[in-house]
Chains A and B, each alone.
Chain A
Amino acid sequence: MSEVTCNRCESPLEAGDLRCAVCGDVPEQLVPQVVGTGLEQTVLRCGQCGAATRYDARSESVRCSFCSGELKPEELTDPVEQTEAYLPFTVDRDGARSALRSWLGNLGFFRPSDLKSAARIEDLRPLWWAGWVFDAHARVSWTADSNAGAGSSDWAPHSGQTDMVFDDVLISASRGLSDEEAYALSASYSLGSALPELEAPPADATLEAFDVQRSQARERITHGIRRAAASRLQEGHIPGSRFRNIHVRALLTGLDTRRMSFPTWVMAYRYEHKLFRVVISGQDAQVLMGKAPISWAKILMIVAGVIITGLALGLLAVLFA
């Protein structure tokens, strides 16, 4: 995408970047060529009247005090990011509806028996949510507490360093979805299906914008990388089976970030007089996350049953003692 790559950490730079966001280096091509070999002497002149002008701090521009001409220096770039690609829906409206129905029917015993038949779908909308997809190599330095090697305390400290390769890791930039929802959906997408533009998005579709600036985006990506590394560390890198206080520092090389929009169905269904929200991946109807009512009557029944059985056993024990 970008033509300039950092010489030091091999991360591609975004258009308008003055330095590498990963390591802070300034690629040779971006260093301004200030002087030749001799003495250069500049008086900045107004393009309109030729008078000598100065940089004005209040307006952050060069101003001519004679003709009030204004010359804006190079703009600062901390743009709001735009999506680069959309993934198409492969699950249609009916597919989403029937996925919800069958989910409602398979939630298990503690849900109301009439949940599937009495739930009414009140709202069903397509949403393209925003997310970053990154590739990177990372030298991960970590520390953590785990149960391995524990003494008097339940916890013992551990540390290590390991190289990781991240390919197509998705970090949510969404406002419409919670982090948990985005995380649950993230494995269901086929990134190869991405298109540069949407042909005819449905009229009721929401196209989420990346409403964070580039500088904030980078903070969130760094945070997302640490999280991704921390969850990978728990799969065999940190000894033991229970973990806490996982600290990660990642030295990245070749960090390549793409901005994409991911299709999802956002649904609301009503059961009795309450609304429940469910999100379904637009590319895999099996991947779904949502809330559902619990049947307190059934839970009460079980609790009562357990108490009665206990009492009966107690009584029997007393009688036969």
Chain B
Amino acid sequence: MTAPAPHSPALEISCTTCGALVVVEEDLRTVECPYCASPHVVERPPQAGRPDPVFVLAFTLDREAATSIVNSWIKSRGPFVKSGLKEGVLERTRGVYLPSYLYGARAHANYTAKIGEDYTVTVTYTTTDSKGRTVTRTRTETRTEWRDLAGRYECYVTDTLVTASKGIGNAELESVEPFDLRALRRYSPDLLAGWIAEEPSLAADECRRTAQSEMRESIGQDLAAFMPGDSSSNIRANVTFSEEVSHLVLLPVWVFALRYGEDEDPIRIVINGQNGQVGGRLPLSWAKIGGTVLFSLLALAAIFVIAGLLS
């Protein structure tokens, strides 16, 4: 059973300030009147598969602050990024409220693992001493005894965020996490005024699967920390979820397009609008890396040749 992806069609509204007809693009919740610049927040009637936002994490970085963070981030990249990137131009800077689901569930895991318990033994060995005589010596060695462990584990998983937007994928969202969820506010259109806010455009089922795999990953990490012994290996867990809850949250992200060459597509850079974390990486230049490697090899060869001539 797969529900269709929600779709919020384009709308036409009339501006309450100047009366002009204004088009609200599809999958957007906000629009600025092109004639009088009034910022509108538009709430469409309820629709199956497209829940209303429950929370907003408001922007705390304005355009200026976000731009300066991105600029110094670009400057601080290594020497092997593609030519022109560091001199690139930031275009189409947009502050976007990204719809995402805040997931939680009760997790149950049946796990098995090998637990290593260390012990020391005294080992006798023979060797030859400095005078060439055969002697017997002892040393202590640490050994590990591997034991099987099986058990059951239950906990609440909270605070799992997954994107609900086709525009910004989950990997891109993860690259700017974490967000400080203590600053969550109840949804109110006031917080959106003057910004771009998207409507969810991914099907809830798909988001749920992404959330479950993210939660499985975090449980895997916690299980590794939960194991006793001096070491552990082969941790296998059968994880199931119950009492799942999800709420739609609007997250603040700044999106930049970095244009750096005539015939290159601009590169998208996303930053966390709450704490300024920059996501992603700039593409590397294989020509530069290859050139450096080649140069090093030539230099090395030259040294060998010179050394050979001198000897």
CB < 8 Å neighbour of B151 from A78, A141, A156:
A141
For residue A35, give the distance in angstroms from its CB to the closest CB of chain B. 5
Residue contact A44 to B190, C-beta cutoff 8 Å:
yes
CB < 8 Å neighbour of B149 from A30, A32, A157:
A157
Task: Confirm or deny: B87 has a beta carbon within 8 angstroms of a beta carbon on chain A.
Answer: no
A-B pair number, CB within 8 angstroms: 197
A155 — nearest CB in chain B belongs to which residue? Answer: B117
A249 CA to B187 CA, complexed, in Å? 33
A78 CA to B183 CA, complexed, in Å? 9
Task: List A contacts of B184 (CB < 8 A).
Answer: 18-19
Task: Confirm or deny: A38 has a beta carbon within 8 angstroms of a beta carbon on chain B.
Answer: yes
Most chain A CB neighbours (cut-off 10 Å) among B43, B95, B183:
B43
Task: List A contacts of B154 (CB < 8 A).
Answer: 139, 141, 161, 249, 251
Residue contact B43 to A23, C-beta cutoff 8 Å:
no
A25 — nearest CB in chain B belongs to which residue? Answer: B245
Residue contact B151 to A251, C-beta cutoff 8 Å:
no
Most chain B CB neighbours (cut-off 10 Å) among A31, A34, A58:
A34
**Given known contacts A53-B193, A73-B188, A215 and B182 CB-to-CB distance under 8 angstroms:** yes
Chain B residues touching A, range: 35 or more
Task: List A contacts of B189 (CB < 8 A).
Answer: 42, 44
In A213-254, the 8 Å CB interface with B consists of: 215, 244-247, 249, 251
A44 CA to B190 CA, complexed, in Å? 6
Residue contact A57 to B60, C-beta cutoff 8 Å:
yes
CB < 8 Å neighbour of A145 from B17, B106, B117:
B117
CB < 8 Å neighbour of B145 from A18, A43, A44, A152:
A152
Residue contact A55 to B104, C-beta cutoff 8 Å:
no
Residues 145-188 of chain B, each 1 if its beta carbon lies under 8 Å from chain A, else 0? 10101111111101100000000000000000000001111111
B31 — nearest CB in chain A belongs to which residue? Answer: A41
Task: List B contacts of A1 (CB < 8 A).
Answer: none
For residue B42, give the distance in angstroms from its CB to the closest CB of chain A. 5
Residues 79-93 of chain A, each 1 if its beta carbon lies under 8 Å from chain B, else 0? 000000000000000
Residues of B whose CB lies within 8 Å of any CB of A are 11, 13, 15-17, 36-46, 52-55, 58-62, 65, 95, 102, 104, 106, 115, 117-119, 143, 145, 147, 149-156, 158-159, 182-195, 222, 225-229, 243, 245, 247, 252, 273
Apart from A55-B192, A151-B145, A153-B118, 9 more pairs, CB < 8 Å: A30-B186, A41-B43, A43-B16, A44-B39, A52-B17, A53-B193, A57-B58, A62-B190, A245-B228
| Top 10 A-B residue pairs of the complex, sorted by shortest distance between their CB atoms | A54-B194, A24-B158, A159-B151, A153-B117, A24-B104, A57-B59, A153-B119, A157-B115, A40-B43, A34-B52
* A-B contacts, 29 listed (Cβ < 8 Å): A23-B106, A24-B158, A26-B247, A31-B247, A32-B186, A34-B53, A35-B43, A35-B52, A39-B11, A44-B190, A52-B39, A52-B193, A54-B193, A56-B62, A57-B65, A57-B273, A73-B58, A73-B191, A76-B182, A141-B226, A145-B229, A152-B119, A154-B117, A156-B117, A157-B229, A159-B149, A161-B153, A247-B228, A251-B154
